[in-house]
Amino acid sequence: MTFRENANIGGGRARRGGGGGGGMAVGGGIGALLLALLVMLFGGDPGQVLQPQSQGQDSSAQNVDLAECRTGADANENVDCRMKGGMASLETYWTEVYPRAAPATAILFSGGVNTQCGQASSAVGPFYCPLDRQIYLDTSFFQQLEGQLGAEGGSLGELYVLAHEYGHHIQNYTGALQASQQSRQGEESGAVRVELQADCFAGAWVGHVAQGEDALLEPPTEEQIRSALSAAAAVGDDSIQERMQGQVTPHTWTHGSSEQRMGWFMRGYQSADANQCDVLNAASVDDY
């Protein structure tokens, strides 16, 4: 999506984090990649993927100074500013739709980061830590999304990822996140339902923006919607398993298939109503 050039994005809650990179392997080996894929768009099981807290040196690279991200033009130009702008829009949206949830903060890091959920390397992909209620994201993930995972790329694909994580933050308040702990894998599992709901929430936000009343973002173009769908498809469990292990094993799914992820995103988008995202109580995850 494109930000309105003169929009003020200064209020977006995003800051730099780091301190978790030292001593951890974050290289591009297949092991690291596989780990990243298994937990991508991470949904709520820190113990599975995060290393125990330990002291590590700060490996975060300085990109832009987030304080310099002031306008929509900055967000259109720079991915870090885009995340900050996205957080501003998401906060406004969710404050209205679900005021019980406090605003989330996004921590942008490179290499590794310390969180209340433990220490994580970039290899785990973007994730949400329910304990400190923060979104963690290394924007280099977007290159992986477009490269290894085959997404088309584009700003809406990136903002979809951010909005998905913000969805987990909302679920932390609604209690939905617990469902992912109760049944952790399988086609109709709580984990999959939680992930699909986060996709639907992302779609509902984009649908809201499409109505033309968002102060920061212009309504998405059809091409941009396709880029979001492409990103959703790229992170489907079947797509990832096909790429990584050459076969699809639905009983191990944690995020849902490409079709399901696109389907729930579109349900949110077309209704522009987060109340239409009740995946947890749907008879089937295919009922989008």
Given the rule CB under 5 A, which of 36-44, 133-141, 183-191, 216-224 is the region that contacts Zn ion?
36-44
Distance CA 275, CA 273 (A): 5
Residue type, 236: G
**With binding defined as CB under 5 A, does residue 18 bind Zn ion?**
no
58 versus 195: smaller Cβ distance to Zn ion: 195
Q: Is 207 in the site for Zn ion (CB under 5 A)?
A: no
Q: Which is nearer to Zn ion, 41 or 135 (CB)?
A: 41
- Least separation in angstroms between residue 195's CB and Zn ion is 5
Q: Which is nearer to Zn ion, 198 or 217 (CB)?
A: 198
Closest among 25, 29, 197, 72 to 128, alpha carbons compared? 197
Number of Cβ within 10 Å of residue 155's Cβ equals 21
Q: How far is CA 135 from the centre of its chain?
A: 8
Which residue has tokens 């499409």? Answer: 210
Stretch that binds Zn ion, among 10-18, 65-73, 194-202, 222-230 (CB under 5 A): 194-202
Closest CA to 40 of 134, 115, 149: 149
Of 35-43, 68-76, 172-180, 260-268, the window that binds Zn ion (rule: CB under 5 A) is 35-43
Q: Which two tokens stand for residue 265?
A: 């995103």
Q: How many residues belong to the site for Zn ion (CB under 5 A)?
A: 4
Q: Are the beta carbons of 116 and 32 closer than 8 angstroms?
A: no
> Could you say whether residue 204 binds Zn ion (CB under 5 A)?
no
Q: Is 240 in the site for Zn ion (CB under 5 A)?
A: no
Q: Is 43 in the site for Zn ion (CB under 5 A)?
A: yes
153 contacts 146 by C-beta, under 8 angstroms: yes
Select 44 or 72, whichever has its Cβ closest to Zn ion. Answer: 44
Closest to Zn ion by CB, 66 or 198: 198
Plot region of 256 (φ>0 → left; ψ -120 to 50 → alpha; else → beta): left
Query: Which positions lie near Zn ion, rule CB under 5 A?
Result: 41, 43, 195, 198
